[in-house]
């Protein structure tokens, strides 16, 4: 099987993610409003829940606003993430599709230091390259020689463990 052709795709703040966060926050506000209405007396628990919901909304908004932006580059062999922080690009050790909704994908990138970055990719950012990106993330990649396995144990270790007979249970 051949690797997918090279592609560079812009990634940044996702409107889908923003609307999903807003919808979840509004659901929390709705539950709080129903609780407030059903409660016979307004006590400290309602005020605490209000503070938690407001802080959660602020935290989600700030996290969305500060979402990483850059370019994901596939050169035919390896992935690279290029952004303001990594202008020369950082090699991506592992890239996985966590969610694929055809027009939007949630990607998980892991670098050589095992730091994980979650990014939303949307068709609307560059429609003419969308199918190229999809081909690249879903193709079977041949690992480059300088990439080491996450689990450095030999491949046969799991087979040896499962081949052992089960030990008798004590107390049976």
Identify whether the C-beta of residue 7 lies closer than 8 Å to the C-beta of residue 121.
Answer: no
Gap between the Cα atoms of 77 and 82, Å rounded? 16
From the number of C-beta atoms within 10 Å of its C-beta (0-12, 13-18, 19+), residue 68 rates as: middle
Question: For strand 116-122 and strand 7-11, is the pairing parallel, antiparallel, or unpaired?
Answer: unpaired
- Which residues is 72 bridged to in the sheet? 9, 81
One digit per residue, pLDDT tens: the chain, 172 residues? Answer: 467 889 999 998 999 999 999 999 999 999 999 999 998 888 899 999 999 999 999 999 999 999 989 999 998 888 999 988 766 678 888 999 999 999 999 999 998 888 898 999 999 989 999 999 999 999 865 555 554 444 444 444 444 444 455 555 555 4
Extract the tokens encoding 52.
Answer: 């938690």
Identify whether the C-beta of residue 97 lies closer than 8 Å to the C-beta of residue 137.
Answer: yes
* Nearest one of 130, 94, 122, 132 to 12, comparing CA atoms: 122
Identify whether the C-beta of residue 116 lies closer than 8 Å to the C-beta of residue 98.
Answer: no
């Amino acid at each position: 099987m051949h690797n997918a052709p090279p592609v560079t795709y812009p990634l940044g703040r996702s409107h889908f993610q923003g609307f999903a966060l807003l919808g979840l926050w509004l659901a929390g506000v709705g539950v709080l409003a129903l609780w407030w209405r059903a409660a016979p007396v307004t006590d400290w628990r309602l005020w605490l829940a209000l503070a938690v919901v407001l802080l959660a909304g602020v935290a989600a908004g700030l996290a969305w606003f500060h979402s990483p932006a850059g370019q994901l580059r596939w050169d035919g062999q390896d992935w690279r993430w290029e952004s303001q922080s990594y202008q020369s690009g950082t090699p991506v050790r592992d890239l996985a599709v966590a969610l694929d909704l055809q027009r939007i994908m949630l990607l998980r990138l892991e670098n050589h230091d095992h730091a994980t970055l979650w990014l939303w990719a949307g068709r609307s950012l560059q429609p003419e390259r969308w199918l190229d990106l999809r081909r690249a993330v879903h193709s079977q990649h041949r690992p480059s020689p300088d990439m080491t396995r996450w689990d450095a144990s030999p491949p046969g270790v799991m087979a040896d463990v499962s081949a052992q007979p089960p030990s008798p249970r004590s107390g049976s």
